Amino acid sequence: MGNTIYKGILTAEGGKTCLLGESGERFLENEKIWNGYLKHFHGFKVCARKLAQRDYETGKEIIIMWPDTPAAEEPFVELYCNERLAKYPTSFLGHLAINVSGEIFNFSHLLIENEIMKHEEYFFRPALGEFAPHPVFGRYNVGDPQKPYYDKFGRIFMRTIHVLKIIGLNTETLSQIFCDQLEKIKSTPPDPKAPEKYADFNVITNSCATIIRNGLKKYGLKKIKGGFPRDLFVNVSYYFFCVSSNPKIKATRRVLKQLKVDEAAPSVMPPLINPVNCWKYKRLKDF
């Protein structure tokens, strides 16, 4: 993973691309820039760096790019409710991840996707190399172990994401809880019949949603409930907006709209399974 971060305005002239620096420098002029970046970031100030992964066509390090925005000034927690991917039946219920002051904890049925990610990698990975969908099948495919296609590029290009931001929680304690959970997953013996999958994953009892829910409960939020991504997101939102009386804790909500690219179809809102959460969702519209 590259340590140098380049900053500049993404520019495309005469078929060539670069990051135009403040003093006229032309960064990354001879590098391959993903078309999704050119579609959405052209003319804007961005950050960029090189990843350890390589592009299958050029053999060169993949360039990741993201908007140049100020870093958060205080500790925070963000819950990300990702809408479902229409082409994957396993995505019917959507997906949930949690950001603890810049460490994004992602839990999945695939071992490789149980990880701590930086903000730019979670949201803005390009659909190049191993991050892209298979060029023929258009989805996850690891038939060629030398060129796996994990179809796990930047989430903001794949889905609309609903965000709950919470200020006032002890982020060090919460981070350690989820680090311990990741260690538990990594130390779980794999199933020889499906070594690429997390053997103890269960959509009902041990999923992205229940792992995050149990972590929040372990932290001390005992009233948090919900066994599926959107249900848990609504329940946690309802708790902080309608139940919690702690004046030191502040919560806000926002929606990050999917940035459309050729490699991903529009995402779809996942269902609410528990009727009680349908009622809570309606109540949240007042906040």
Residue ranges of the domains in the chain? 6-67, 77-284
What pLDDT does 156 receive? Answer: 99
Containing 178, the helix (H) or strand (E) segment is: helix 171-186
Residue 20: which residues within 8 A CB-CB, separation 6 or more? 8, 9, 11, 26, 27
Low-confidence ranges of the chain (pLDDT < 50): 1
Residue 136: which residues within 8 A CB-CB, separation 6 or more? none
What pLDDT does 1 receive? Answer: 45
Length of the chain: 287
Long-range CB contacts (within 8 A, 24+) of 214-223:
215/98, 215/174, 215/177, 215/178, 215/181, 216/174, 218/177, 219/169, 219/170, 219/173, 219/174, 219/177
Q: For residue 229, what are its two tokens?
A: 């991504």
Q: What angle do CA 157, 159, 165 make, to 5 degrees?
A: 105
What pLDDT does 2 receive? Answer: 56
| Predicted TM-score of the model (pTM) | 0.94
What pLDDT does 14 receive? Answer: 84
Inter-CA distances, 16 with 25, 33, 126, 172, 270, Å: 15, 10, 18, 44, 40
Inter-CA distances, 15 with 7, 30, 65, Å: 21, 11, 19
